Amino acid sequence: MAFEKIRQSLAVIGQGTKSGVQKVSDGVSINNRIQAEKRSLERLLAVIGEQVYKEDPDTPIPGLEDEYEAVKVAYANLKSYEEQLDQAKGIFYCPLCGKAAAKGDKYCEKCGTCLIPGEESKGRRA
C-alpha cells in the first residue's frame, strides 16, 4: 500500500535526522538545528502532499481547491515544456506503441509502424 511506503521513507529520513542531531557539536547554534528541522519537515510534508494529491487529484481537500488547480496547471505546463524540449531535440513518439524515435526515423524500431505520414502505402512492416 502506498501509505506503507511513505511510512518507510519517513522512518529512513527520521533515522538520518537523529544521527545528524547526534553529530551536532556544542559550537553549532540551535538556530542551525531549527533550520535543518524545518527543511526536513518541508521535504516530509512534500512527500505526504504529493502522495495525497496523486491518490485522488480530482477531489481536492476542502479549502485547498486553488492549490489543487495550481498543481494541475503546473503539471500541464511541465508536460508542455517537456514536449517542447523533445521537439527541440528532434525526439518524437510512435503513435502506436509510444516508443521514442529520433528525427529522420522512418519506422518505429519496436513495432515497425511507419512514422512518416502519407508513406504507409509504401511502408514495410517489421
What does the binding site for Zn ion look like in residue numbers (CB under 5 A)?
94, 96-97, 99, 108, 110-111, 113
How far apart are alpha carbons 8 and 14 in whole angstroms?
10
How far apart are alpha carbons 90 and 119 in whole angstroms?
19
For the CB of residue 92, give the shortest distance to Zn ion in the complex, in Å. 11
For the CB of residue 111, give the shortest distance to Zn ion in the complex, in Å. 3
Nearer to Zn ion, 68 or 93 (CB): 93
C-alpha closest to that of 112 among 98, 97, 126, 91: 126
Nearer to Zn ion, 72 or 99 (CB): 99
Describe the crossing of helices 30-55 and 2-23 by its angle, rounded to 10 degrees: 170
Q: How many CA atoms lie within 13 A of 42 on its CB side?
A: 6
Nearer to Zn ion, 23 or 125 (CB): 125
For the CB of residue 96, give the shortest distance to Zn ion in the complex, in Å. 5
Q: How many CA atoms lie within 13 A of 71 on its CB side?
A: 18
For the CB of residue 78, give the shortest distance to Zn ion in the complex, in Å. 25
Nearer to Zn ion, 13 or 91 (CB): 91
